[in-house]
Chains A and B, each alone.
Chain A
Amino acid sequence: GESVGLHLPTLSVQEGDNSIINCAYSNSASDYFIWYKQESGKGPQFIIDIRSNMDKRQGQRVTVLLNKTVKHLSLQIAATQPGDSAVYFCAENYNFNKFYFGSGTKLNVKP
């Protein structure tokens, strides 16, 4: 994916509100998508995944929506908590098992 440079998009939300993080993916042949959470100084951690034959998938407090028509993913976090503060990446898989990552969105949860 294309880099957005040194400044990550930042989403600031109040604790308890819902958060929506968006991602545009690059390849219409991608058939598997993952959202990762990366806390400062750590490696990315799996949050939720979705296959291209689905439009929506729900986990615990998280929902991923997939719109293949416009190549768009979103991650919805319900009742956002301070522990949700992190950088969130979407990743797409279209070439064997190689994963290609977006540039990320920083989520800042205000208490």
Chain B
Amino acid sequence: NAGVTQTPKFQVLKTGQSMTLQCAQDMNHNSMYWYRQDPGMGLRLIYYSASEGTTDKGEVPNGYNVSRLNKREFSLRLESAAPSQTSVYFCASSGTSRGTEAFFGQGTRLTVV
């Protein structure tokens, strides 16, 4: 049981390049999330998906797009990377009901130069 799997683990981009961060969960969870974590700070919600086919903005959505490809997969895309997007990105998933914990992946460390 892998839980939440993110790829890649590390990535370096040049300013203006694009890339997609992949996330998959095998827990049959309806809700999935993308967070970013900057040094010394908590996690900030970028986008979330309450169920397959739906997505919604979180606290810091600018510069990102997401796709809920199916129930298992939720991808995060940076269309034109900027140095301000240098961060560690975490994907998470949680069960159907409100009030269930979120399970996190191991993170993707992204550096934009």
Q: Which residues from chain A contact B39 at a C-beta distance below 8 Å?
A: 6
Q: Which chain A residue lies CB-closest to B91?
A: A43
Is A43 a contact of B42 with CB atoms below 8 Å? no
Is B43 a contact of A98 with CB atoms below 8 Å? no
Q: Which chain A residue lies CB-closest to B106?
A: A43
B58 interfacial by beta-carbon distance below 8 Å? yes
Using a CB–CB cutoff of 8 Å, the interface residues on chain B facing chain A are: 4, 31, 33, 35, 39-45, 48, 50, 58-59, 90, 92, 94, 98-107
Using a CB–CB cutoff of 8 Å, the interface residues on chain A facing chain B are: 1, 3-8, 31-32, 34, 36, 41-46, 49, 51, 89, 91, 93, 96-104
- Beyond the given A34-B102, A51-B99, A93-B98, please list 12 additional residue pairs across the A-B interface where CB-CB is below 8 A: A8-B40, A41-B107, A43-B90, A43-B104, A44-B43, A93-B99, A96-B50, A97-B50, A98-B33, A100-B59, A103-B41, A104-B41
